[in-house]
Structures are given as structure tokens and as C-alpha cells.
Amino acid sequence: MSTDTKRIKIPRPGKPVRGSRTGQPIMVLFDLLGRRWAMGIIWNLHNTPCTFRALQERCDSISPTVLNARLKELRASNLVTTCDKGYCLTGEGEKLYTCLEPLGAWAKGWSKDL
């Protein structure tokens, strides 16, 4: 494990995270996805692998430091991997996107009612 990975606290089931002292899996997922740009990265990598710079542009010019940190967390969580075109979602990352997509559609309708 590199020193960079050690500095970034990766949420893990069974370990305390925001909102759960026992580290329930759903709360671990929410902790990970609640970090700045985590869901944006997953959303932008769905079916479209891209390089670091292209992903940075797609994420409204996210800072390289934040993007690097999120990619390390998402890679360590088996949601993102490197591929010949840069970064892409793993099979688990694609499954997660499939779960999030209906939630995004629901949020659009919900936001109109606010």
C-alpha cells in the first residue's frame, strides 16, 4: 500500500463512518458517495472511460487534488479502475450507477415540487 493510499481514509464496512458507529454497509456507501465529486465522477464515467484531464473537465474543472483523492478512494472501493482509455467504472461501479440512475430521475421530479 502506497503512502498516498494510507493518508486517504477509505470508508470500510464494520468501521465507524459519518452517521454510523458500527459501519453499516449502506452508511459506508453514503459516506463514500457523499464526498465532494464522488457521485459526479461515477456519473461521468458511466459508459465513457476518460483520461484524468478529460474527467477533470467533465467535472466542471474539479481541482486535481480533489479528483486524485476521489479516484484513489473509488479505486480502493472497487468502483473505478484504470483502463486503456484512462479511468472507467468497474462492474460494481456500473451496478452502482444502475441503482443511482432511478434516484436521479426521482430527484428531478422532486426538485420541481420544491
- pLDDT tens for residues 32-87? 999 999 999 999 999 899 999 999 999 998 999 999 999 999 999 999 999 999 99
- Domains of the chain (ranges, CATH numbers): 3-101 (1.10.10.10)
- Residues 86-111 have a mean pLDDT of 95
C-alpha cell at 21: 458507529
More confident site: 5 or 42: 42
34 and 18 in contact (C-beta within 8 Å)? yes
Confidence of residue 92 (pLDDT cuts 50, 70, 90): very high
What are the beta bridge partners of residue 17?
Answer: 20
Indicate yes or no: pTM above 0.85. Answer: yes
Residue 50 φ/ψ, nearest 5 degrees: -155, 165
The whole-angstrom separation of Cα 85 and Cα 110 is 36
